[in-house]
Amino acid sequence: MRVRVEMLRRAVAWAGCLGAAIGSACAAEGPGEFSGTRAFTHLAALAALGPRPSGSAGMERQREIVVAHFQAAGGRVSRQAFQIRDRRTGQPVRMENLVVEWHPGRSDRVLLGAHYDTRPFPDRDPVDPRGTFLGVNDGASGVAVLMELASLVRDLPGEVGVDFVLFDAEEYVFAPRDPYFLGSTFFARQYAAARQADGPTPRYRCGLILDMVADRDLEIFQEQHSASWPDTRPVVDEVWGVAARMGVRQFVPRPKHAVEDDHVPLRTIGRIPTCDVIDFDYPHWHTTHDTLEQCSAESLEAVGSVVLQWLREMK
C-alpha cells in the first residue's frame, strides 16, 4: 500500500504495556479462542517460503499451502484467475485471487481480506533496494490471521456468513508509476458487474482488510479514509469499540495515516464499505528487514481476537 498523508503526531508508545495487556490472553489456546501462537506458526511457515511476488514459484507454493489449509478447515475455496501484462517485458503474468466461503447458505455476508503477494523488491531499503524482500509483516501477517480464524469462523453462530478473500497483486510494483491493487480491483469489478446483472452473488454488508498486523510494536490507528467515509465510519466504530471493551490497547481509537490499500477499490468500485486495519508505523516497511523477528504472536492475537469478537457480536 501507499501512504498519501501522514499525520504528524506519533502517539504514545504502547510497547511497555503491550505484554501486560494481552500476556494472559496469549496463553489461551483452547477451542473457541484465537491463538496468537498458532497464528505465528502460520506466519513462520509462510515466511519460510521466501519471497512470494505475483507470478513467482514462491507465490504458487504459498497458494497450494493456503488452499489446502482452508479446505481442510471446511472452507469452500474458489480461484478467481486473471492475467496482466508485465509492464517491463510485455509478457502475460497469471494472477489469482482466492475466495474462501464459510456458511455459503447465508446471503448476508462479511468480507475479510488480505493481500498475499509480496512486493518484488525492498525498494525502500537504504542499503540493498534490489535485495530479498520477505514481506512477513507486509504480506503474510493478514494471511496468518485468516488461517488461524478459519476453524473459528466455521463455527460462527448467527445469520451472517463470512468470506475470506486473498488478493493477488496488491503491489506488483517495479516502478513508481506502476498500478497497485490489481487483485482487489479485479475482484471489485467482477462483484459490481454481477450485482448489476442481479446474478446469484453474495451481498457483502461490509468488509475489513488486514494488512501489516504483526509488528511486535503494534499500534493500529484508524485509517483516515475508513474513519471519514460515511459508510465505513460505523465499521471503524464497531471494531475499535470491540477492542476498547476487550482492553486490547493496540487499537488506538483515533485516525492517523491515510493509506491507499485494497479497501479503496472494494469500496469505490464494489460499493462494499470496507475498512483498512493496518499499522502503518513500521520502520521496516519495504526493506530487507521485514522479517519474522520484527513480528510477534501477541500482535497477531490482538488483531485476531478483536476481529473474531466483532464477528460474533454481529446481528
CB 224 within 8 A of CB 258: yes
| Residue number with CB closer to Zn ion (265 or 273) | 265
Task: Quote the least distance from Cβ 309 to Zn ion, whole Å.
Answer: 27
| Residue number with CB closer to Zn ion (173 or 243) | 173
Task: Quote the least distance from Cβ 135 to Zn ion, whole Å.
Answer: 7
Task: Quote the least distance from Cβ 21 to Zn ion, whole Å.
Answer: 27
| Residue number with CB closer to Zn ion (171 or 301) | 171
Q: DSSP string covering 288-313, please?
A: TT-SGGGB-HHHHHHHHHHHHHHHHT
| Residue number with CB closer to Zn ion (134 or 248) | 134
Residue whose beta carbon is closest to Zn ion: 138
Task: Quote the least distance from Cβ 180 to Zn ion, whole Å.
Answer: 9
The CB density around residue 233, as the number of other CB atoms within 10 Å, is 15
Number of H helices, E strands in the chain: 9, 10
| Residue number with CB closer to Zn ion (168 or 171) | 171
Rounded to an integer, what distance in angstroms lies between the CA atom of residue 178 and that of residue 233? 30
Task: Quote the least distance from Cβ 56 to Zn ion, whole Å.
Answer: 16
Residue 156 amino acid letter: L
Task: Quote the least distance from Cβ 72 to Zn ion, whole Å.
Answer: 29
Using CA of residue 279, residue 232, residue 11, residue 250, what is the dihedral sign?
negative
Rounded to an integer, what distance in angstroms lies between the CA atom of residue 134 and that of residue 12? 29
Residue with cell 454481477: 194
CB 90 within 8 A of CB 141: no
Q: DSSP string covering 43-56, please?
A: HHHHHTT----TTS
Residue with cell 494472477: 95
Residues of 184-194 as b/e, b for ≥16 C-beta within 10 angstroms? bbbbbebbbee
| Residue number with CB closer to Zn ion (138 or 168) | 138
- Residues binding Zn ion (CB under 5 A): 138, 171
| Residue number with CB closer to Zn ion (50 or 253) | 50
Task: Quote the least distance from Cβ 101 to Zn ion, whole Å.
Answer: 27
SS3 assignment, position 27: helix
Rounded to an integer, what distance in angstroms lies between the CA atom of residue 250 and that of residue 11? 11
C-alpha cell at 49: 517460503
- Name, in order, each residue with C-beta under 8 angstroms of 20's C-beta and a sequence gap of 6 or more: none
| Residue number with CB closer to Zn ion (96 or 138) | 138
Task: Quote the least distance from Cβ 286 to Zn ion, whole Å.
Answer: 6
C-alpha cell at 270: 464494489
| Residue number with CB closer to Zn ion (136 or 308) | 136
Task: Quote the least distance from Cβ 132 to Zn ion, whole Å.
Answer: 15
